Chains A and B, each alone.
Chain A
Amino acid sequence: MLLSPSKINKHLGKNSGVKGWLYAIAGGIFISGPPYILYPMLGELKKHGARNGLLATMLYNRNVKIYFLPAIIYYFNLRYAVILSIYIILFSILNGILLEFIVSENE
């Protein structure tokens, strides 16, 4: 509601380019909430023109949570947290590209 369809199309749509991927990664990291809240919200973004790949990237990056870093460092360590987060971000892009390749936009 706060984002107009044209804005969604511009930032997360077909012509969003590299910025779109960056927005999707940042969105996934900073977005908070359980899946049953996120899925309908992402469904609305999709209806307004957001790309499948970017939505998948956003969902994948939910595992990188800055405010949960103390917990992961406590149970594992800082090195583990940093390396895991880097891999999650890298694989989220690959995940988005592959999903977009397999699932067409109108599905």
Chain B
Amino acid sequence: MQIFKITADMSDSVKQKMKQAFFKTTQVFKTVMPMLTGVLLLVSLLHQFFKNNYQHWFSGNLILDPFIGAIAGSISFGMPVTSYVVGGELLHAGVSLLAVTAFIMSWTTVGLIMIPLEASALGIRFAIIRNILNFIFALIVAISTVSTLKFLF
């Protein structure tokens, strides 16, 4: 009986915490909403501008293509799965795996458009340094992945 009482008490405590968490999340949303609206408007604008240009940016140059891929990924925005779809289509269109990997990597790890939001939450220096490091690492990871694939298979 005692065990049931303790479980019921714990359940009330968790419910209370869940309510508080929900309330706090709502407050965070209220704070983020103006910034979010601006970001979404900017993303929609840039996406319309860039969506048909991805295939024209890659010339087949093994040095330039990963850079272009990483830059394209950095200014793009969306769920990781979208980058796989776009990357897969670019690969089918003849773009090198190196460029596509750099594109996929920077898509999620670098977010130029999101820097103001990231800076407001985590600090301006954190946001800038993290994005610079991630851009460099996108190139290194792309080179490492493609080299390893060539070496092993």
Chain A interfacial positions (CB closer than 8 Å to B):
1-2, 34-37, 39-44, 46, 52, 55-56, 59-60, 62-63, 65, 68, 71-72, 74-76, 79-80, 83-84, 87-88, 91, 94-95, 98-99, 102-103, 107
**Distance of A71 Cα from B91 Cα, bound (Å):** 14
Given contacts A99-B126, A107-B123, is CB(A83)–CB(B117) below 8 Å? Answer: no
**Distance of A74 Cα from B121 Cα, bound (Å):** 36
Measured CB to CB, the closest approach of chain A to B26, in angstroms, equals: 11
Measured CB to CB, the closest approach of chain A to B37, in angstroms, equals: 10
The answer to whether B117 and A35 have CB atoms under 8 Å apart is yes
* Shortest beta-carbon contacts, A-B, top 7: A75-B88, A43-B121, A1-B21, A39-B121, A63-B108, A107-B125, A68-B81
The chain A residue with its CB closest to the CB of B123 is: A107
The answer to whether A91 and B137 have CB atoms under 8 Å apart is yes
The answer to whether B88 and A95 have CB atoms under 8 Å apart is no
The chain B residue with its CB closest to the CB of A62 is: B108
The answer to whether A42 and B145 have CB atoms under 8 Å apart is no
A-binding segment of B4-12, B27-35, B52-60, B61-69? B27-35
Q: Mark B28-50, 1 if CB is under 8 A from A, else 0.
A: 10011001100100000000000
The answer to whether A91 and B129 have CB atoms under 8 Å apart is no
Residues of B within 8 A of A1 (CB): 17, 20-21, 24-25
Measured CB to CB, the closest approach of chain B to A13, in angstroms, equals: 16
Residues of A within 8 A of B122 (CB): 39, 42-43, 46, 52, 55
